[in-house]
Structure 1
Amino acid sequence: MTTGRNGKRIIWLSLLAGALAACHEPGETRGVQAAAAVDTTALDFGEVPVGEWREKVVRLRNVGYVPFHALEALKLGDNPAYEVSFDGEARLMPGEEKVVRVRFHPLDEGGSEESLRVSTDANSGQAHTVTVRGQGAPLTVRLEPALLDFETLEVDSERVLRLTITNPVDLPLSVTVKGDAAKAFSADNITVPPQATYQLETKYFPRDLGEMRAQVEVRPCDTCTPTVAELTGRSVASAFVFDPAPVPFDQIPVHETTRSFTRAKNITWRPVTIQGLNTSDTAFTPLEAMTATQVQPGEVVRMPLEFAARFSGPNMGTLTVGYESDKPRQAQVTLDARGGRPTLAVAPLALDFGNLPAGGKLAKTIRITNAGTTGNLYFKGVKAEGSTAHFSVDAILRGKTPQPWKPGSAWPALETEDLPIAPGTDALDLTVYFEPQTSGAFEAKLVLVSDDLFNPERTILLTGTARDSGACVYTLKPQPVLDFGNLEPGRGAVLGFRFDNTGRSECAVKNIHVSNDAGGAFSMPGGKIVGGVVPYASAFSAMVAFRPPAVGDYQGELTLTVNDPANPTVTLPLHGASLASCLVAAPAFVDFGPIRYDCATRPRRTLVSNQCAAPVNVTDAHIGAGTSEQYQLVTPPTLPRTLAPGEGFELEFSYARDVLGQHYSPFFVKEQAEPHPLLIPLLAETNHEGLQLDRFIQGTDSQLDVLFVVSNTTTMKDFQTRLKTALPGWLERARQAGVDVRVGVTSTGLSTRSPACTNATAGGDAGRLVPADGHRARTASSTSATAAATVQANIDDVGLCHNLVQGLETMRQGLSSPLITSMDDPRTPLPNDGNQGFLRSTARLAVVVVADEDDHSGFEPESYVQFLQALKGTGMAHRSQMYALVPTDARCTTAGGPGTRFSAVAQATGGAVDSICLGDYGPFLDKLLQRAEGLQADFPLTATPNGLEEMSVRVGGTTIGTDKWTYDTRRNAVVFNADAVPVPGQTLEVRYRSVCASP
């Protein structure tokens, strides 16, 4: 007889089997056999960072009526990323379960699989196979700091900074230095032990000059995605920069002396010690020895010098500053005793146009300045020699104004009428063209001629090569015509064209211009395009504007030249009409602005309405031929549709953003009786991932139009009184600040409420300035002595009789056509009740809402945000804001709860919100003056920058340094220094790497 546990199990099972056989039929015996089951046949761990652990379980259950033993759980493969935990053989009674633990520990990135077998001695379910899979994901390692900035140091010197690396997993981490300037940075190639913190010493030892960048890369495996810490540094030849440099001395007679000075600034990270000053010529004498003078980082020291003239004529020298930093070093600055007479300065001294396709055209600019300090330099002309047939020059420019060449002079010898150039910032710009007619290498010398006493001529070397590239194959959109549809007289619009290189060769495109402007109706806002190279499978776009000078039908033409000998000249017809229309879009265009292709877009809206006194029939609305298929009408209207006077429908558009570049499409709305459809331009620009380009145009300074939208409901008496009380002091402060304010008032009443309202409009001002019947001036200027009294009386005319606040819509109506463009509203019997003359195109606009309950206009607040931002035109969204005095909290009893709709529009347009329950409205109104006083210095960005390292600012096409502007994080705005604020009309561009906004 067998003994022990196994023997007992055999005897027991035998007895049990006999008992069952004696009591049941054979089929019933099988029903009570041991049966095992698992709760899953597959485990999926999903993504797990490399080195981290995740655990899941497989549950083995006894689903029969007799016990069995769980024998083992084993991996079938040898994948080290998985571990199986099984406590050993166990007996499971009916209904019991045993847990098999499986752990996933990825050792590299990517997918992996393993199989698991669970074995039992049950009659049914003796072996179960479970598939296990997981995905190794990138591991994020904590690096502090994320940026090691070694600042500025001298070439061939070193600095050591420490980087803390925290290893969160049980795998070792490898550390390497990579990047373009990796040779200038070094760190021990170390391994960070598992779950340890390591202090890594990183050294910057530059042997070249300039800005340098590299990265420390930390990863748990050779193929794993690294965690990166940025390394930056700047290498300079010496610790000091000098200002002024060269050091100027006055022009003096022989045997006399004069004094000057320079300021030496330590631009490195470490203090340095001056050992002494020496000059190359004994005519120059340092007035202070400065021996053993320590100069801290960023500190400036003044160095006075004397010059003793020993002979007549110019004299130059060098000041050498000996100093000690990591070792003895020297810094030098030129000493200039030429007397500051006019001096011809030219930059650059050579123009290399590179390699162009034959038939192409490229432009580069030379800047001509007066390097002297006293007196004008006179520019006289240019002359050239060499391959002059392939080079040419344009009219010389002073700012944007062309300066003509003398009549009769011709390239390659052109003369001017002695153009003066003053010392300082005055300059002339000369555009030089390279336009190769055949393939080959070409060189010419361009000589600039002036009245400089010592160097009257400067020679500029011009070089360029040309290659044969075959005929250009392209498409030009839109076709067959760039159609602007109909624009109301007095308005303008922008669309554009797109040139796509669809062939296998490059395209040389040049001389892109409006060849027929139809009497000035058509233009290119960015000016003519000289030319460029469009590589295979690439494209470019540009704007075309239509601004009809009078009522009529206009036909124009755009012309460009391509490298196709058979058909070199390409034309695109331009068409537009200007006729009065009953249909009005507010805003008049839909602008998505610059958008990253990886960021979601917000829908854009416009309201199309009938602004005539009779019904109209809208028969069609569609997107016309444009430069792409990027736009979609999200809310197509049901057509045909009859619009009663003042009735309209909102259109919502989406933008696909999947094609890089600028995109322009016309949206047309056709009214049955009008010969041409209303144009609503659709505008957008898709940029690369993370790149954002915001454009602005500086407006006129110290001009402000203010539209007060005052609620005329029955509970507004106290709040209207507070507004009237604040006006005299506020207008006086505007006069003292030199801000020219123009004020108009309308109500929040959109529809009439007879007979409760007894004024001329029965409470339904619908955006008309009060008093609509004109019995008093409807606008007031801060320059008038009676301005405060006029505005106060107009607020009284608003009344206290209405019951419905629709201030957002009355604002839109009041600032839209036909009210804002007409002296009379054609929809009403009152004469001369239009708002024409209130809105000045050059002034900033502030809409001030005063209401003790929220708006009920119906359309989404975003519609009104987009309307205000588009009101001043493209690039001018920053010129219009809403300000709201509305309920914000429970400080006092108001007719309604918080004014969230008014507040949303105010905040989105960069205005301000405060409680209508303020005791004094004066400080709130002063915010309007603060924004309008002087030229605008702050320009809000459309997206949030991802740091400032890649932010650049251009004004008038020229990049300006970070010493001229700052970034205000709180306002998300670029703010110019007082001495760098752009002048009216200048274009600003801010380029930065952005983060996507929340949906």
Structure 2
Amino acid sequence: MKTGLGGGRIIGLSLLAALLAACHEPGNTRSVMATAAVDSDALDFGEVPVGQWREKVVRIRNVGYVPFRALEALGLEGNPAYQVSFEGEGRVEPGAEKLVRVRFHPLAEGPVEERVHVTTDANSGREHTVRVMGQGAPLPIDIQPPVLDFETLEVDSERTLRLTITNPVDLPLIVTVKGAAADAFRTDTITVPPLSTHQVETRYLPTELGDMRALVEVRPCATCTPSTAELAGRSVANAFVFEPSPVPFDLIPVHERTQSFTRARNITWRPVTLQELTTNDRAFTPMASLRATEVKPGEVVKLPMEFAARTSGPTKAMLTVGYESDKPRQAQVVLDASGGRPRLAVAPLALDFGELPVGGKVGKTIRLTNGGTTGNLYFQGVRGTGAAAHFSVDVPLRGKTPLPWTAGTAWPALGADNLPIAPGADALDLTVYFEPTGEGPWTATLVLVSDDLINPEREIVLTGRARSTGPCVFELHPQPMLDFGNVEPGRGAVLGFYFRNPGREECAVKDIHISNDGGGAFFMPGGKLAGGVVPYDSAFSAMIAFRPPAPGQFQGELKLTVNNPTTPTVTLPLRGVSQASCLVAAPSFVDFGPIRYDCPAMPRRTFISNQCAAPVVMTDAHLGAGTSPQFHQVTPLALPRMLAPGEGVEVEFTYARNVHGQHYTPFFASAESETAPLLVPLLAETNHEGLQLDRFIQGTDSQLDVLFVVSNTTTMDTFQARLKAALPGWIERARTEGVDLRLGVTSTGLGARASVCGGPAAGGEAGRLSPVDGRRSRAISSTAATAAETVGANIDDLGLCHNLVQGLETMRQALSSPLATSADDPRTPLPNDGNQGFIRSTARLAVVVVSDEDDHSGFDPESYVQFLQAVKGTGMAHRTQLYALVPTDSRCTTAGGPGPRFSSVAQRTGGAVASICTGDYGPFLDKLLQRAGEPQADFSLSATPNGTAEMSVRVQGRRLPEDQWTYDPARNAVVFRSIAVPTPGQMIEVRYRSACVVTPAAPAP
């Protein structure tokens, strides 16, 4: 048994050895070897997003007939992006395979390589190296939303929104914020864990203004291409935009009001709550209370505003809108308005023509100016109501230039083609005529029409009275015509006409004008005459000029109307020739000038010569038909007379001067062969004799009447308050110094403003003392215990509602008839509103103007200077002064800038000027007291005396010895010695003969 078993074993081993030996034989040995093979020398994973996994396999196959063992598979480079694994060490039977798994997990972008080494114990193919390649690609990461819009925020506020980031890989994601505005955005997360979805809190906190953009970048590696979400936000200074902005207001006059609005839209992401609306200029006022109003995002709220123009020119301010959002905040919008719009200023506002005979005509002028500072005012015409048939209006004048009414219009409705009136000194003058056609009192209203935004129509009250009179008997000279003879081409000449009333009835003469000017050859140098009344045994005369535009013969006509039913229209033919003449007069006219009745008239001469190259025969020389026989030719001429070239004759004339008025007579010199005589006009005027009587009333040195002319426009509240504050101390100082004050107050309002101003005067005191209804004392004595309080209350009554400062005219109205002399103003329905009793004849007078803009009365300031100088009578000019508290510089904001009108009148009358912006008016008012302390010792005369031989001085009718007064030629004044100074209330009379003045001849026309 053992042998068999052992022998069998030996046989088997032998057989194996034989077989193995046989394998080494060509073609036989190979068949018994272990052979390993792999199915690829390289693996290419292509592009794989970073963090994702891809797997490929390498197959180890047994391609022989003998099993072998797969021993190991590993990566030679150790690259962490690859993982290599196989099913483990083990036997691989022939025809079987074993898998090696290679996984690619890129950790960065870009190419990644590895080498996988496979080891077996096979006889053939024991080791294999497989090249492994892959490309790390960008990882797409889901971020929602792709755009995170924070909308609009106020600067330095914040908003937080969420992003949802889904991490699809097993790598953590890095979260960063990048971009130009990255600093304004923050996230609360810097990594997103693997394989998770995460809510990322994102905050927007802008510290600067503007649109801002940034990106949230999410990536699996620091160098990887990020996935992004856009961050957007806008930073604004405040929650609102205003439409319109700046807020526009109408161009209005100073002291007027207008309304506008803006719309505030909440442009932020959250609702806000309105609080307070304020402005930095009290001229602008919010018109609605919107406190605690919530304004949602995108919602619009209307903000109405009012503008009260307080100054001339452009005005800008800021509206501040307080509101609550994340904290108390403010928004601002510019308010843009302009004061100084054109406005019509008119003076005076009433015309009383007095009494005329029926058929008479008298004119008065009103002045139209532009009270604004920006742009032209346009005058559009006039119309008359009431008894307009008894009144008429001449064409407007700018200076001396007539501006015709619109063609086709006629009184009582006259149109003007938008005549511009510029701010400042520009003006239009309208002459209004009273020409009654029947007896009785007549009243009409003249309505002025302009493009004034607030007051397009202004009314002027016209009054006049007419009486019946008999037919006029008159003389008109020269007759039968006014002949100018020959006036050399290129020259002109002046003669005149003379109208005399020799009858017993007065003559009403009107519409004196050149009805035919001969193609422009004839005109009246002083312009046409409206007319007037010529009493019995009186006369008037006027010039007519002849200035031919070219050589030739000219015919013209003067026309006038008189109250004579038989010949109501009177004409005077005019004739003149213009041609070359050999005769020439030097001077070409003889003018004696104005000569006093008692002063001698010096003879005057002219030289008439031949200025041709050949001899000329002078055939005639004589005085022609003139206005009177006042001129005489002294030199007798033997005519005819041959005048050689350059030869001439001197002719002397005298003037009789025994008929008052102007006189015109032609002197004619004729030459042979010349068709018209040469004209030499003779001109002269006789005035009254020079016996002068000047009367004065001595004022009281301790009395002072003070008229306060206080502006009642809308911007005067501060300045009225300052004036009232200064009154108690000033009045007390006057009492201490023994000065008796009488105080009155009126406004600068000339016309009523009934629709805006209340009270009985409606803002237009027009010179009447306040209060016009007399409910409180109007002329206040400083001795009254409540003087300051009463004056202050009267200032309060003026109000703050008017829109036009015409203080110089209201001053003139206050101090002149009928107000100054009547207890009642006859022009108003209110009873007892006159100023009678305010002005004391013995007291000094001071006018104190308080206004935050200049005067718009229109007439030249010099006319107001002359008025004030005449208030106290002849020679008493220095007893009246005007003082002005007005804008003088830019120390504070006033309704108007410094202006010359108030200041110039103050300076010309010896008053003073100070800035209305001065905090305390007391020191300025004290200047008035300083002028009231001394009696007047010098009295200026109205004319220059002809020595003192005929001068006498009387006080209260008693003639003073000459040692008690002297005449001061330098001041042209009588000066009393200290012991003889008249006492208050005494009448002073100075009689003297004024000096004869020799007037030089006027230049040739």
Highest Rg: 1 or 2? 2
Bigger relative CO (Cα 8 Å, ≥ 6 apart): 2
Using structure 1 for the length normalisation, give the TM-score: 0.37
Q: Give the TM-score, by structure 2 length.
A: 0.37
